[in-house]
Amino acid sequence: MRAPNSEFQARLAAGAPWIFVFLWSTGFVVARYATTDSDPLAFLGARLVLAALLLAGIAVVTRAPKLNLQAVRWSAIVGLGIHAVYLGGVFIAIDRGLPSGVGALIGGLHPVVTAVAGGIFLHERLARQQWFGVVLGLLGVTLVVAERLRDASLVIPTSAVVSASVAMVGMSAGTIIQRKFCAGVPLLWGTVAQYASASGALWIAATSTRRASITFSATTLWALVWATLVLSLVAVLTMLWLLRHRAAASVSSLFFLVPALSAIEAAILFGEALGGAAIAGFAVALIGVAMVTRVREAPATVDGGAQHQSGSAPINE
């Protein structure tokens, strides 16, 4: 009979992907609020500085394992991809007027890119059922944004599309590097290193454009608190934990559900229309994610044949 603590951990592990999806989907709502009164890159820089300080404090109090130089280097690189490039690209795209539907469609390519890259660089082979799930997930994303794309009055700024596309590549690259080189990096200090590198890059980019300004209105403060505590702490730590215990493609497939949830949230908060295509897309994407994540994953063989499994020893030990 399974011990109560073990049962709780099993339920927590089962619920973690869905907690992550819901929390991550609120990021698009936060981005809309955050870019109302402030420069998007400056806002992100401030958010990640605050998150890094909070996590560093928690790491000190809990005496979390520290990093060696190699772990710091790889964590910093991951931070540039997942936080600086991805978040920066998404916020710039929204600030420049990219419709949420088009942004969701571009972001929906991220799991596909990660699945292909995971096979090439991590030797994480997807079963036929998982590939079918990836296709269903992409189809679900397409259905979610179909109504917006049919709008003849829709104007899509080229610079915004480029920013969203770069963001998608940054997330995929960061996910692959995290899975390959940071599987055993201590979670708290590793995330601090990610945020430190990303915030530095974002502030440099913001000051280079001479737009590094933040207006601390009530809207900005609300967005900053939510983005720091809920997204940068709870959601990101959940994602990094999932990347330790699941294949990169499996974790990335969860992003197929984000556009649909964001559409539901936008309908509630901003009164945006939510049609039957979006609801159908959510259902299709949900089936696709279930197909990708429920197949038992074989340990990935990387780095010349060494097996990287969940629970592997930190690289600094």
Q: Mean pLDDT for each 10-residue chunk of the chain (317 residues)?
A: 63 80 84 84 93 95 93 96 92 79 64 77 78 79 67 69 88 90 89 96 88 83 93 89 75 73 75 70 75 55 36 31
Domain boundaries, the chain: 18-130+156-250
Beta strands 300-302 and 306-308 are: antiparallel
How far, in Å, CA of 81 to CA of 236, rounded?
Answer: 13
Report in angstroms the alpha-carbon separations of 295 from 44, 124, 132, 308.
36, 13, 12, 18
pLDDT at position 225 is 94
Consecutive H or E run containing 183: none
- Read off φ and ψ for residue 300, nearest 5 degrees: -80, 140
Contact 145, 259 (CB under 8 A): yes
pLDDT at position 43 is 93
pLDDT at position 122 is 78
Name the β-bridge partners of 300: 308
pLDDT at position 310 is 33
DSSP assignment of 267-285, as one string?
HHHH-----HHHHHHHHHH
Our CA angle for 195, 208, 206, nearest 5°, is 40
- Total-model pTM: 0.74
The structure tokens 């809207």 sit at 219
Burial class of residue 288 in the structure, from the number of CB atoms within 10 Å of its CB (0-12 exposed, 13-18 middle, 19+ buried): buried
Amino acid at 89: G
Contact 39, 96 (CB under 8 A): no
Instruction: Quote the tokens at residue 147.
Output: 């109504």
